[in-house]
Amino acid sequence: MLKNKNIILGVCGSIAAYKSAFLVRLLVKAGANVKVILTPDGANFITPLTLATLSKNPVYTQYFEEETGVWSNHVELGLWADLIIIAPISANTLAKLSTGICDNLLTAVYLSAKCKVYVAPAMDLDMWKHESTQQNIQRITGFGNTVIAPGSGELASGLVGEGRMAEPEEIVRFLENAIKKSMPLFGKKAMVTAGPTYEAIDPVRFIGNHSSGKMGFAIADELVRLGADVTLVAGPTVNNGVESYKRIDVVSAEEMFKACSAIFETTDITVMCAAVADYRPKFVASQKIKKQDSDFVLELEKTTDILAALGMRKKGNQILVGFALETNDEENYAKGKLEKKNLDLIVLNSLNDKGAGFKSDTNKITIFNKALQKTVFEMKSKTEVAKDICKAILKILK
């Protein structure tokens, strides 16, 4: 959720400022671009060098640096940010935000920002409980800001109670959940299949195909980015993907069928991207088959058509997306598959298009919807193709 997000971290005067170092590290590890604004009081508790080293960006402390002649443009910083988190925020800065006082760089950036602002208070128990502090909390939340409530525990004064800044891990989870709730697919459950299936001939050999799983993994990643709760059912592949979805590893078409069948009823969106074997050996040898002088005949039987089976079970507003990889008469085959298997979308790619299909990092697709309306896309990276497919899914949901 935080990957490539531009985040401004404001650090105010509090003993809890030491936690800001850990927070910066976690935000950077999550893939965010972090710029730190340190108030003069905050600099008494943690050094700019520490925060600059961890954020990999200069730390801003004032409007104008006399030694370097550099002016920190508060408007530019405010517009750069996708979100602002002030952690810790002191009672003093909290009061300034509630009344619009603008006497340092952080408060100026706050007033210039167009993004969501989060604050994590840190102060002593009596300061936190004071009526003026609570009124200031109500005022800033009334402005649309979000307060990450402090926890309870031993405070710097020796008192025990509320006032401890939330732990960095809690803050990161809070931000991720808040972002996820604003995503268009929040609350939706999605299932994606990816990669090939291997159909055993004997303990050593199998029937398979050249699918790398890259397209399915890219779709799963994009659905996660849009806020969906994603389960990926993956055939044998070296792809790792992200950690933000549940992954079920399978080998054969039968295993994939069972895994998909078990969770299909609970899914809102299913994207069947895997290259599932159409046939498997009728008999699997228990020992390695030895080389023979004569020809070897392998008898095959059909595997379960997973997509068709799910299409028969599809109910209500469930969205089912299939793929068609063709070599000839592509559009007719794709449209036939769309109608026959009760799909909402069919994604066609042709092996006749150079750079499309298995193993490559690019793909060229055509999408047909239920009304057989056709949308043709140019050659793109599979990451961008995944975005196009998910946009077509979002159109159905609107």
In angstroms, rounded to a whole number, what is the distance separating the alpha carbons of residues 392 and 384? 13
Contact indicator for 34, 111 with CB cutoff of 8 Å: no
In angstroms, rounded to a whole number, what is the distance separating the alpha carbons of residues 61 and 43? 8
| Contacts of 377-384 spanning 24+ positions with Cβ under 8 A | 379/353, 379/355, 382/214, 382/215, 382/218, 383/218, 383/221, 383/222
238 Cβ neighbours under 8 A, 6+ residues apart:
212
Contact indicator for 163, 89 with CB cutoff of 8 Å: no
Residue holding tokens 């499309």? 356
Contact indicator for 260, 311 with CB cutoff of 8 Å: no
Amino acid at 34: V
Q: 209 an active-site residue?
A: yes
Which one of 209, 239, 342, 369 is the catalytic residue?
209
Question: Per the structure block, which two tokens stand in for 227?
Answer: 């806020």
| CA of residue 295 relative to chain centroid, distance | 51
In angstroms, rounded to a whole number, what is the distance separating the alpha carbons of residues 32 and 310? 39
302 φ, ψ (degrees, to nearest 5): -70, 145
Helices marked H in 182-315: 214-225, 253-264, 306-313
Residue holding tokens 């979805």? 245
In angstroms, rounded to a whole number, what is the distance separating the alpha carbons of residues 80 and 90? 24
Contact indicator for 13, 42 with CB cutoff of 8 Å: yes
Residue holding tokens 């697919």? 185
For 270-299, b where at least 16 C-beta lie within 10 A, e where not — what string? bbbbbbbbeebbeeeeeeeeeeeeeeeeee
Angle between helix 91-99 and 131-142 (nearest 10): 50
Q: Catalytic residue numbers?
A: 209
